[in-house]
Amino acid sequence: MIYFHIPFCKQACHYCDFHFSTSLKYKGELILALQKEIALRADYLTDKTIPSIYFGGGTPSLLTADDIQYLIAEVARHFQIANDAEITLEANPEDLDKAKVDALRHTPINRFSIGIQSFYEEDLRWMNRAHNASEAEASIKRVQDAGLENITADLIYGYPLLTNAKWTSNMRRLLDFDIPHISSYAMTIEEKTALAHFIRQGKTAPIQESQSAEQMNMLIDTLAGHGFEHYEISNFARNGQYAKHNTSYWQGRHYLGIGPSAHSFNGRSRSWNIANNARYIEGITTESPVYETEQLSDDDRFNEYVMTSLRTMWGIDLEKVKVDFGSDAVQHLRTHGTLFVEQQDVEWVQERFFRLTSKGKLIADFIASELFIIP
């Protein structure tokens, strides 16, 4: 898998702590550096067949169609892109005008991830999103009208302005577009964001966990009633149209991250690029990439597998645990999972798979942390 981090945004959403710049000053140099990094780090992945490419950020829809073509062509020079590869572009609604969609239709992009977040004008302003409510609806329709049906859209819940009535309306309006995939996330407070500052200053109300839990349950029930499988904590799909790229993350497959702040994983170590555009470009240009590496112990790898797999509808596979980590790790899970089984937060399936119940999904991170092996 290949992930591109495109570190540019028109403006900063109040809740976002991803690495980005609101200046496009280095855009040209960055595109060249991304191409060069692919060549410099092509040996990181031993499997040269690429099942998915993902353009994330930031706001990848700020790239031109030619930018995207150049980057995908560079991947093809060093890897074999699978014939059925999923190639996803994250896009903000305001970028998807008719000309942009027409141009993107002639690139290898075959999946759009559209950051809707809300259909309410006041909510979008509160988040400091760059698009408005009419653009939210028009962007999806425009992509569909171009014959591009593989769409996922994001919604956010659990923030002070979002009443249950508004949340119900947001879900229904998105369902009306009949798209195959929906991602939805609870609003979280990241320490260095504008939203965290506003809450500390008393300018906006704090996030309420009870509201997030209630609205998550509403989401699960509503989407289940419209034929969606809840295949990962924040992701829902119809007809088995799971996101190939993200599913591969949760299943522990290897990936190469390209761009400032991008992470890579090869099974035994994890690396991440410097989160500074100018220094990233300089490092790549001089063929001295600036990144850090962490070697993963067996316990680290086990804990990561527990964290990611438990989030999915398939759960933890004890056969895989036995093969990868040994019988002691299996016994550890059985012992530490007993209480959660008794509390009906997790369940055994065929005595092999250990997965969350609907109740357990509300405390998934806590359950995972209690199942970790602590050296």
pLDDT (tens digit per residue) in 5-30: 999 888 878 887 777 777 788 899 99
Biggest alpha carbon–alpha carbon distance for the chain: 58
The mean of the pLDDT values for the chain is 93
The helix/strand/coil state of 249 is: helix
CB 200 within 8 A of CB 208: no
CB neighbour list of residue 209: distance below 8 Å, 6 or more residues apart: none
Burial label for 149, CB within 10 Å (0-12, 13-18, 19+), is middle
Report residue 54's pLDDT band, with 50, 70 and 90 as the boundaries.
very high
pLDDT (tens digit per residue) in 240-284: 899 999 998 888 889 999 999 999 999 889 999 999 999 999 999
The helix/strand/coil state of 292 is: strand
- In whole angstroms, how far apart are CA 259 and each of 32, 87, 198, 284? 11, 17, 30, 10
Q: Give the whole-number percent of the chain exceeding pLDDT 70.
A: 100
Give the integer Cα–Cα distance in Å for 40 and 61: 25
pLDDT (tens digit per residue) in 111-148: 999 999 999 999 999 999 889 999 999 999 999 999 99
Domain ranges of the chain: 2-250, 298-371
Res 193 pLDDT > 90: no
Examine domains 2-250 and 298-371 and report if their fold is the same. no
Give the integer Cα–Cα distance in Å for 306 and 215: 26
CATH of domain 298-371: 1.10.10.920
Classify domain 2-250 at the CATH class level.
alpha beta
Q: What is the mean pLDDT of residues 183-204?
A: 89
Single pTM value for the model: 0.92
Give the integer Cα–Cα distance in Å for 156 and 183: 9
How many residues belong to the chain?
A: 375
Give the integer Cα–Cα distance in Å for 173 and 118: 10
